[in-house]
Amino acid sequence: MSEIVIILIEASIKALVIVLIMQLMAAVNVYMERKVSAFIQGRIGPNRVGPWGTFQPFADVFKLFMKEDVVPKSADKFFHSLAPIISMGIAFSIWAVIPFSSYIEIDGRKFYMGMAPNLNIGVLYILAMTSVGVYGITLAGWSSNSKYSLLGGLRSSAQMISYELAMGLSLIAIIMMTGSFTLNDIVSHQQAWGGWRWNIFVQPIAFLIFLTASFAETNRAPFDLPEAEPELVGGFNTEYSGMKFGMFFLAEYANLTTAAVLISLIFLGGWSIPFDATNLGIMEGSIWLALIHFAVFAIKVLFIIFFFIWIRWSIPRFRYDQLMNLGWKFLLPLSLLNAVITAFYVMFLQ
Amino acid sequence: MNNTKNTEIERLNFWEKLYIPEIVKGLGLTFKEMFKPKFTRQYPEERWEPEGSYRGRPVLVLEEEGERCVACGLCSRVCPALAIEVQAAETIKEKERFPVKFEINMLRCIYCGFCEEVCPEEAIVMSKDYDLVFQNHEDAIMDKEKLLIPVSELQDRLEFIRQYK
């Protein structure tokens, strides 16, 4: 077989698997969110559809498919349908550079777990894509021709722009220490110290800033102002129904997964395990090692998702001026300071 | 005239202003909450048994010799929702009157319990039925057949009435 055919087959299989994983993760997130919120509030949560209610998210999506798709009379029809497509497309395309596990070696050919985990601008690509993701929400708010949607859209764009700065600057500290934009390199850099050189221990301030900013970037509580129900009806998705609403819903949960994956890749050591796998007779590049790495990674990601949900049901929403104060007056100077100190350390002490 | 001072900020100490220790405290609280017993009742499987003070569907008391009702019509008169219809007739028994027709329209009933309060014979009482479902309007109009309940099943409510009425 020629090289190009192998690459094409490899890429299409990976793309299919990633899209399926994303859909499945959205379902898992919805289920976890409902169960955890129920447990925190002294309820049981969904337990009727399937064993322990595990089919509930599928029933929800099925219901959304069956719903009538209402478009407001005065809405801009084209952009009204384009907005959810942008939201979901961007949420999925971020996953092009995300690795899930270490590589598998078959016949001397290395198969990396992920579409393009060795892309040399990986982190920049992710930051760029999350910025484009704002367009989906802003367009949804504007094209609905409703005051609540517009306010929600404006809030989300202001919020995302404010927090993107702090997010990028906190990542700069990590990138300076690693010396690479590639996510695979960032993960392998954390495998020092017997698998415990996690960036959360080396850069705790950057971790806190990134965590806070990713709450704001994913529009989740305590920064869920774009869809603040008591103030804005439904925020940017007020005028959406049926599967268009479902697509925003899916994009939101895909973004949650992305944020969790990024945090565990960049700060929690990705799939690094605290012992040398070759001692157990598992070779570097074998399927078994890749599976173990994937399991470790999945546990970390699920824990972070749980943490996000836990935060959502514990902390009340910020007021808008508090949100802006925190972003511009606190997180931005702190991340700048952190970046400067890290730069000095990398330049003069390493 | 300086009332723009944010007194709430001034009340907090340094660690509280940092947010993070307070957030951790809050998270600890919700985490503990997750393992406490749940309040939810699995309704169709696990039914709630009301106390005697509960005002459910109004029913007629049925004794061995027949219904207690003497068809005086007070319940029908007092009913604020005009849900009760009584038609009296004569009988050879000691109490001389009985209802030939006794209908309660459950679509109109507001479960106020006035009928029970006004009844001189303790013949109409509120039962413990609380989940009433009807497929059509005719089903919702309860006739004597559906209303008469043996006195043994209504002991809780009768005791409650005697104690508090």
Contact yes or no for A40 and B42 at CB 8 A = no
For B20, the closest chain A residue by CA position comes to A208
Single pTM value for the model: 0.81
Residues 6 or more apart whose Cβ sits within 8 Å of residue A109: A6
> What pLDDT score was predicted for residue B80?
92
CATH class of B58-164: alpha beta
CA distances from A151 to A74, A154, A158, A163, A312 (A): 17, 5, 11, 18, 22
> What pLDDT score was predicted for residue B5?
59
For A47, the closest chain B residue by CA position comes to B42
> What pLDDT score was predicted for residue A47?
85
Which residues of A fall within a CB distance of 8 Å from B23?
311, 314-315
Which residues of A fall within a CB distance of 8 Å from B29?
314
Domains in chain A: boundaries: 3-43+69-349
> What pLDDT score was predicted for residue B78?
92
For B30, the closest chain A residue by CA position comes to A40
Residues 6 or more apart whose Cβ sits within 8 Å of residue A287: A104
Contact yes or no for B34 and A40 at CB 8 A = yes
Which residues of B fall within a CB distance of 8 Å from A46?
none
Residue-wise pLDDT tens digits, B66-104: 888 888 889 899 999 999 999 988 888 777 888 888 899
Is 60 exceeded by the pLDDT of residue A320?
yes
Q: What is the mean pLDDT of chain A?
A: 83
Nearest to A314 among B26, B35, B37 (CB): B26
- ipTM for this model: 0.72
Cα torsion A77, A81, A84, A89 to 10°: value is -140
> What pLDDT score was predicted for residue B110?
92
Question: What is the Cβ-side half-sphere exposure of residue A191, based on CA atoms within 13 angstroms?
Answer: 15
